[in-house]
Structure 1
């Protein structure tokens, strides 16, 4: 992995399990981009694959499901607090995505919600 002198620009990504378009539109070249994600299938795995293909650093936050059904919510809170993203991009998804969008709004973290093309 290479080290850059540019300041990091952290982007937290969340979304549904079946999203698959428009990912390259989110690429920024002004800062050292870091992709933050929940290490889940769908949008998270697409974010991870895209980051790997572009040699961009990742910060994965897998949920510890052994702790029960609240693991996703706990992971979302941890992911937001620890990564301190400058932007959250939310692709269409389920309850976990809705929770992250709610957290972004509560904390006034800049948020880009990608609308579902089928809505």
Structure 2
């Protein structure tokens, strides 16, 4: 059974050490499955870093870029809701400060019953 790991995070996220640790934890929770898929929003920062590291490990990703031209300011929320609605076994989150989009995605995931692992630094 393919495990789906949803990632959400700040566009300003650069901490590769925390990201590597979080992805490793997620992979362990996925039973070290070679077919675990990382679902992300294709944004700079946390999404791009997570996707790059996951793919370097030989794993698959699914990208859902926001359609800013089509939906304007609502595009990020619409994209996040789509990723949650498609289903995930867990959500790993990398917020920094306000991170409105990240926190909104975390809220949507929790409301959908998806466990959220928050890696915000102290």
For residues 40-59 of structure 1, the aligned pairs below 5 Å read 40-59=43-62
Q: Please give the alpha-carbon distance, in whole angstroms, between the structure 2 residues aligned to 1:116 and 1:23.
A: 11
Query: 2:74: which partner in 1?
Result: 70
Runs of 4+ residues deviating >3 angstroms:
none
Aligned pair 1:11/2:5, yes or no? yes
Q: Please give the alpha-carbon distance, in whole angstroms, between the structure 1 residues aligned to 2:91 and 2:84.
A: 9
Q: Please give the alpha-carbon distance, in whole angstroms, between the structure 2 residues aligned to 1:102 and 1:16.
A: 15
TM-score (ref. length: structure 2)? 0.84
Task: State the shift of 1:69 in Å.
Answer: 0.2
Higher fraction of helix: 2
Q: Which of 79, 101, 108 in structure 1 is aligned with 2:106? A: 101
Provide structure 1 residue ranges, at least 5 long, that are not aligned to the other structure.
Answer: 1-6
Query: 1:86: which partner in 2?
Result: 89
Aligned CA-pair RMSD: 1.3
Task: State the shift of 1:76 in Å.
Answer: 0.4
